[in-house]
Amino acid sequence: MHARAVAAATTVLLGAMVSSPTAEVLAAGGHERPLIVGHRGAAAYAPENTLASVDKAAALGFRWVENDVQRARDGELVVLHDDSLRRTTNVEQVFPGRAPWKVKDFTAAEISRLDAGSWFSPAYAGTRVPTLKQYLRRVEQRHEKLLLEVKNPELYPGVERQILKLLGNEGWLDRRHLTDRLIVQSFSADSVRTVHQLDPAVTTAFLGRPATADLRRFAGFADLINPSWTTLTPEYVSRVHAVPGPHGRPLRVFTWTVDDAPRARTVSGYGVDGIISDKPDVVRASLDAP
């Protein structure tokens, strides 16, 4: 067996014996090439953050999808990227007097009336904004894995605890999910730290590019450092990999949002562990090419 594969198998085995973060991601050298994560589902091909986008990623053969979680006025967790409903729904037509149409100002029942597909294509007319519960169930049904982003947590006090409660209620905090199917990430270091403190068994990621001098501090609560490709260098990836994370394994790197073949090959050459893409099929083809 290839030495990297032996190391990976050993790490996965050990990982299964301890409180184990996502083994597939954290296994040292456990994959010959980066994992590919469908960004907001498969955002180039279906309306972002919808169940249709989960389905599209699955149909294309991808196991990992990324989403964005926020909170409606009545407390329901919903899957939306922007803090406003304007860009990805017809909220201005349905609720013309409710500017600036912030997610936090609408109940889940109101949001469920919106069309979240027509802006993308008439073929998706009538597509709805999913609740996180609906989204988790569809991801499970499709045998997919989830990179869940806590989006704009400063707007939603306590949202980390609420997300973890829902994940637990939906069976996403059992051993099977914790070892191989779930990563929680945020641009907010405070939010990532909170998730880690509330449930240290969850694999966590910080979105951004901390200074190398700060990596050890981030490694206290984040298993991955996920920078934009625009900020990445091979040296930085190596520096991240040199730091042990909160579960004793090297920090990993997923970069975003990489949608073209040359860039995918470039960041793969940097040694990243994951590539988050609106066009995961393009990334896959580029990495498959000789």
Q: List the catalytic residues.
A: 39, 81
CA distances 144 to 64, 153, 264, 275, Å, are 6, 25, 22, 16
Nearer to Ca ion, 11 or 277 (CB): 277
The owner of tokens 């999808």 is: 65
Shortest reach from residue 96's CB to Ca ion, in Å: 29
The residue nearest Ca ion at its CB is 149
Between helix 132-141 and helix 51-59 the angle, nearest 10°, is 20
Structure tokens at 55: 């389905």
User: If DSSP codes are grouped into helix, strand and coil, which group holds residue 19?
Assistant: coil
User: If DSSP codes are grouped into helix, strand and coil, which group holds residue 94?
Assistant: helix
The owner of tokens 């450092």 is: 225
Binding mask 20-39 for ligand G3P (x = CB under 6 A): -------------------x
Nearer to ligand G3P, 81 or 209 (CB): 81
Is 229 a binding residue for ligand G3P by CB under 6 A? The answer is: no
Please identify which residue in 24, 48, 68, 199 interacts with Ca ion, judged by CB under 5 A: 68
Is 264 a binding residue for ligand G3P by CB under 6 A? The answer is: no
Sites for ligand G3P among residues 143-172 (CB under 6 A) = 149
One-letter amino acid of 31? H
Please identify which residue in 24, 30, 42, 68 interacts with ligand G3P, judged by CB under 6 A: 68
User: What burial class does residue 225 get, using C-beta atoms within 10 Å of its C-beta: 0-12 exposed, 13-18 middle, 19+ buried?
Assistant: buried
Shortest reach from residue 28's CB to Ca ion, in Å: 26
Nearer to ligand G3P, 8 or 195 (CB): 195
Q: How many residues bind Ca ion (CB under 5 A)?
A: 2
Shortest reach from residue 14's CB to ligand G3P, in Å: 28
Is 207 a binding residue for ligand G3P by CB under 6 A? The answer is: yes
CB atoms within 10 A of CB 69: 26
Nearer to Ca ion, 20 or 188 (CB): 188
Structure tokens at 203: 């694999």
**Phi then psi dihedrals of residue 229, to 5 deg:** -60, -25
* Contact call for residues 117 and 126 (beta carbons, < 8 A): yes
Binding mask 121-150 for Ca ion (x = CB under 5 A): ----------------------------x-
Please identify which residue in 52, 276, 282, 283 interacts with ligand G3P, judged by CB under 6 A: 276
Shortest reach from residue 9's CB to ligand G3P, in Å: 28
Q: Is the dihedral of CA 117, 123, 125, 129 positive or negative?
A: negative
User: Which residues 6+ apart lie within 8 Å of 176 measured at CB?
Assistant: none
Q: Can you give the binding site for Ca ion, defined by CB under 5 A?
A: 68, 149
Q: Can you give the binding site for ligand G3P, defined by CB under 6 A?
A: 39, 66, 68, 81, 149, 207, 256, 276
